[in-house]
Every structure is written in structure tokens, then in C-alpha cells.
Structure 1
Amino acid sequence: MKRDYAVIGLGRFGGSICKELSAEGRQVLAIDSDEDRINEFKNIASHAVMADSTDEATLNELGIKNIDHVIVAIGDNIQASILTTVVLTDLDIKKITVKAQNDYHEKILNRIGAHQVVHPERDMGKRIAHNIISNNILDYLEVSDDHSIVEVKAGGKMRGHSLANLDVRANYGCNIVAIKRDKDINVSPAAEEVLREEDILIVIGADKDISRFEKHLVID
């Protein structure tokens, strides 16, 4: 059976991914070494199986080669995470996303062929920190080591001013790529667009530039 995704490791992170993908109607193969977790997901995922993901023969039997994207979400067992990633790389899986426990783990994963490495705890910490700094900062997404996208409410210093007047790009080095107003989204807004109190801005730029933008214009 052709499946879109496989999730290896059904802890809090992997389990959440499995549930969301399944809710979106995706075919998901769920793999874990814990029988209780498999029983929890047998009615959620397309197929849930208890298996040792470090065993290449086992993954072959499960048809892992037919899956486009494998997410390795193994928790505290770094050795199992690395060995699983090695096996998946040897099997030429199209896309391998792996959860890293720390920066050293990430370096190893990158060297052995992981296509994408994620730090859910670290990244969530950044998002929460930005939300704590100001009630106007709604969300924060890291897109690279030094660039991010931030979703903010138009601060008091911005309301009633046009984008041309604020000149965020020239003054702060980041770009307002869209404005959400009620149910409408204005992508690439015109320079003469005047910001209102209820506006939500989507801003992209280098972290250092976004930080200056937040301190001077966003935080009331």
C-alpha cells in the first residue's frame, strides 16, 4: 500500500505529527518499539506497527522504500536516532526529517544524510519567548539559522501610517510581505497602504533586523 509518510517514534512530538498528518487525510505508517504506543495509534494512523527501526531488514519488510517522507521522531535514544537515519539514508528515502536533541546530534545527522533536522523544544522556546516579550507578537517561525518570519499586530507606532512612511525595509532591513485584515490577506501590499489597529503583519528578515523592528515599532 502506497503511503505518503512514515513516523518513527510516537512520543509527544512524533505522536503529534502522526495525528495531524492523519487528520489531514494523509496515509501514515506509524512505527515504535513500544507496544502501548502502537495500540494508541492503531486507529489513528493508516498502519501502526511495533518494530526496531535500526534494523534495515525490518524496515524493508514494512515497505519503507515506498514512502516519500520519513520523520524520525525518536525521543531520548540518540544512538537509535542516528542508526535509524543511517539505515534510511542507505535505502535512499526521498526525504528524511529527524528530531535532534542538541546541536552535536544535529551535526551528526547532517553529516550522515538527514535532509532536514528540527529542534522542536528549542524552536518552541524561541516562539514562546517572542510572545512573552510583547502581546503584539502572535507567532514566530525560524526559516534558517539567522532568518525568520514573524506575525505581529500593528503596534501603536505603526497605526495610521503608510508603509511608505514607515519604510520598514530601509529603516530595519526586513520586509512586510502581507497584511491580514479581517478575513482578507493582502500579499505584497502597496506602499501607500495605511495600517489600521486590527491589522496583522507578516514580516520576514534576518533575526537581528526583526529584533530591531520589534523593539522600535512593535512593542508598545
Structure 2
Amino acid sequence: MKAKQFAVIGLGTFGYNVAVELAKKGIQVLAIDNDSEIVNKISQFVTQSLIADATDEKAMADAGVADCDSVVISIGESIETSILTTLIVKELGVKNIIVKCSSLWHSKVAAKLGADTIVYPEFEMAKKLVDSIVTPNILEQIELSKDYNLVEIVAPQEFWGKSIKDSGIRGNYGVNVIAIRKRVPVISDAGESDIGEELNMVPGPDDEISRNDVLVVIGPEKSLEKLKKRK
């Protein structure tokens, strides 16, 4: 099987870290920026790093951007440069284009030009911070669609000691439990006691919910919002 190839264009904080993390996953990464110092710094982590002007179509073609499965465009200092780069990458025939955007207008133009995924790192981090403050019992949330999400939630007290069936989580809240993470005592090789984690990937209706359990639930956002308010 051919190894996946990614190009990351723009090596600011976001682009730099994306490139390094992709490389850690064993993905071939082509990192591009017009700053020689940053390009030299990242060269030890990625497959290839190049100093190039992202708005020069020939330079992008010569760099091999067209051969990449996906391209991440992370140019933050200039919306115009980001948009022109998106257009060039699209013209080169890249099938999956991910663009970091800094405004609603930027995202609309990028989408019109063919960006497949739009990301707002600052907005998403702000939302996660607010969520962690307002609903600290929510550990993780994944948006599956506009109205349907998956969340990891610390089991509310009203469920402790009850089976999934008796908890009424499906009937009262309209969500399904698809996994349960339990904290369990473990003994290390050195004979010391500790707390480990046990994952039940296919919980049945008679499986009991205990204090400190983390429930992985899936359902409509309106139903999940109702559950998030429980403690």
C-alpha cells in the first residue's frame, strides 16, 4: 500500500505542529514556507522541507504538491495569500484540501474555491475552553453532523448503581451508551496497587454504571444538551 503523502503550506505555530504530528504518525510530509529559518528547523522532523513562494504555481508544481494525497494550507498572515494558494493547489488537482481560516469571509471564499475542510483553531480552542468551564463533566465531544454528536461524559450521580436499562438514559434523554470506561484497581509488576482503566466497548442493557465511570454516548445535540446539565 502506498504511504500517504501530505503537504503543509505555511509553517506558523499551527502549520508547524500539524506537520510534526503527521510525521510522528509515519506519514510522509512535505513542509513548505518562505521563511528559511523555519524550514531549516522543521527539516529534522519531516520527509522534505522546502523554501518556496506558495503563490508561485510553478514552484508548487515543482515541489510535488500535486502528488500529495492531502494539502494543509496554514497561511495566517495574509488572507489573500491563503486564498491564492488554495486556488493554485486546487488547480494542481489535489483531492483533499484543508484550509486554516481566520474569518467567516475567509472560509466562504476557501469553500467556493474547493477547500474540502475548513478549520478555525482559535475558535475551536475557545469553544473547548468555554465548554470545559460551563460543563466540566464533558471530557470530549465529537461533532458527527450538524445535529448529531458523540460525547464522553462523567456518569451523573442519578445513574450510579443502576444498569443502563434501569438508568433510563435512552428513554429520558434520547441517547445511546456505546461504551463505558471504568476505573479499576490494578497491581503493577512491582506489586504496587494503582488505578487503571477498563473499557467496555459493547455494554449491554444490564451492565451497571458506577461512580467515576465515563460514558461514551451518541445522540442528537438537543438530547445531549439535556444530559450535560446533569451532575
* TM-score normalised according to structure 2 size: 0.86
Aligned: 1:210 with 2:224: yes
Task: For residue 56 of structure 1, report the CA deviation from its aligned partner.
Answer: 1.2
Contact 1:18 1:28 in 2 (8 A): yes
Q: Name 1:106's counterpart in structure 2.
A: 107
Moved more, 5-14 or 198-207: 198-207
Q: Distance in 2 between matches of 1:126 and 1:208?
A: 17
How many residues in Structure 1 have an aligned counterpart in Structure 2?
A: 216
Deviations 1:174-196 (A, max 9, x none): 33221122433222421222111
Paired AA for residue 33 in structure 1: N
Q: Distance in 2 between matches of 1:118 and 1:206?
A: 23
Task: For residue 214 of structure 1, report the CA deviation from its aligned partner.
Answer: 0.4
Moved more, 147-156 or 63-72: 147-156
Task: For residue 86 of structure 1, report the CA deviation from its aligned partner.
Answer: 0.8
**Which runs of structure 2 are paired with 1:134-213 in the superposition (5 Å)?**
134-182=135-183, 183-213=197-227
Contact 1:3 1:66 in 2 (8 A): no
* TM-score normalised according to structure 1 size: 0.90
- Aligned residues: CA RMSD: 1.8
Task: For residue 207 of structure 1, report the CA deviation from its aligned partner.
Answer: 2.8
3-state SS of 1:157 partner: helix
3-state SS of 2:15 partner: helix
Paired AA for residue 209 in structure 2: L
Q: Name 2:194's counterpart in structure 1.
A: none
5+ residue gaps, structure 2, are 184-196
Q: Name 2:14's counterpart in structure 1.
A: 13
**Per the alignment, do residues 161 and 40 of structure 1 end up closer, same or farther by CA in structure 2, a change over 3 Å counting?**
same
Deviations 1:56-91 (A, max 9, x none): 111110111111111111113111111111111111
Paired AA for residue 147 in structure 1: Y
Give aligned-pair identity as a percent: 36
